[in-house]
Amino acid sequence: MQQQKNQFSHLTAIERNYLSFPAQFLLSQNLLQGKILDFGCGCGNDVKLLRQKGCDITGYDPYYFPQYPHEQFDTIMCFYVLNVLFPEDQVNVLMEVSHLLKPGGKAYYAVRRDIKKEGFREHYVHKKPTYQCIVKLPFHSIYVDEGRELYEYIAYNYQRHSSHNCIFCNPRKNLKLLTESANAYAIFDGYPISKGHVLVIPKRHVSNYFELPFPEQSACWLMVNKVQEMLQAEFAPDGFNVGMNVNRAAGQNIMHTSIHIIPRYQGETVGTKGGIRNVIPQRK
């Protein structure tokens, strides 16, 4: 059955002449630093009011302010956006925000905690079906009450996640993180085969891809699709090799699952014929 589209999610935005509570909180804690993006800004109330207070802030909303930003920001706000989206769209927002954040920057997500019933309901003013759901994020919670929760996000490679020495559990800061979601992250390979070579890595420390829970496998492949779009826009390759090594016999050296996305370009002299069949040279 085809999933119903959430085509009226923008109707949850309202006009107001005061700062939202999350924006007030961040401002009072001096957390709105540098160049700021309000991702999913709705009618743009926080953008207008924070500009009046001297903040260097840009607003983006696919319905109200559809000019997509093409730079990176020190601070990103994303308030009450995830609650009106389906799970796959939520993941896409997490990946886009991560991609737009400068290395070492911080993003802040506000989500509702007062939703009594998930699903579609008729908007009390517009009489259109709008969707609401409960959202929990695996990021640091900096404020919570009965009505809302505020999370702080820092890129995966700016934190330490385990005491063991797996470089995929604790990736180096100097590697460029391309994007991140709740279950996976994408980082440029430290020893690239071609320009734009990226690894998509699940956050769970599992060596064999086939032992990952299916939702986490799905999260990885959703990220592969997003990474392909980003690489196509930045490097304009002529093709891609996408794959993974599972166990030592297949050439796996780091015993933590990863998926390689390798852009290919016209004029390369090695492996332009046969593609994946060249992994066993004598059988190509």
Interval 109-129: pLDDT, tens: 999 999 888 877 765 555 667
Q: Give domain status of residue 139, yes or no.
A: yes
Query: Is residue 241 packed enough to be buried (19+ CB in 10 Å), middle (13-18) or exposed (0-12)?
Result: middle
Range with the lowest mean pLDDT among 157-166, 208-217, 243-252? 157-166
Full domain range(s) for residue 231: 177-271
Residue 258: which pLDDT band, with cuts at 50, 70 and 90? very high
Same-domain status, 43 and 147: yes
pLDDT of residue 169: 95
Query: Per-residue pLDDT tens for 221-236?
Result: 999 999 999 999 999 9
Same-domain status, 51 and 117: yes
Structure tokens at 102: 């400068």
Choose the final residue of a domain: 93, 121, 155.
155
For the cut 90, the answer to whether the pLDDT of residue 275 exceeds it is: no
How many domains does the chain contain in total? 2
Helix (H, G, I), strand (E, B) or coil at 239: strand
Q: Give domain status of residue 166, yes or no.
A: no
Q: What is the mean pLDDT of residues 12-19?
A: 68
Residue 2: which pLDDT band, with cuts at 50, 70 and 90? very low
The CATH code of the domain that includes 195 is: 3.30.428.10
Q: Give domain status of residue 160, yes or no.
A: no
Same-domain status, 99 and 19: yes
The share of the chain scoring above pLDDT 70, in percent, equals 86
How far apart CA 117 and CA 61 sit, in angstroms, is 26
Q: Give domain status of residue 167, yes or no.
A: no
Same-domain status, 249 and 193: yes
**Cα dihedral 209, 94, 154, 101 sign:** positive
Q: Give domain status of residue 2, yes or no.
A: no
Listed residue (136, 173, 142) closest to 156, CA to CA:
173
CA atoms within 13 A on the CB side of 231: 30
Query: Per-residue pLDDT tens for 51-85?
Result: 999 999 999 999 899 999 999 999 999 999 999 99
How far apart CA 27 and CA 18 sit, in angstroms, is 13
C-beta separation of 259 from 212 below 8 A: no
Query: Per-residue pLDDT tens for 23-40?
Result: 999 999 999 999 999 999
Listed residue (178, 174, 141) closest to 158, CA to CA:
174
- Tell me, yes or no, if the pTM score tops 0.85: yes
What is the chain's mean pLDDT, rounded?
Answer: 89
Same-domain status, 129 and 192: no
Q: Give domain status of residue 125, yes or no.
A: yes
DSSP 256: S
C-beta separation of 265 from 195 below 8 A: yes
For the cut 80, the answer to whether the pLDDT of residue 166 exceeds it is: yes
Q: Which residue has the higher pLDDT, 11 or 160?
A: 160
Q: Which residue reads 């320009």 in tokens? A: 195
Q: Give domain status of residue 170, yes or no.
A: no
How far apart CA 244 and CA 259 sit, in angstroms, is 5
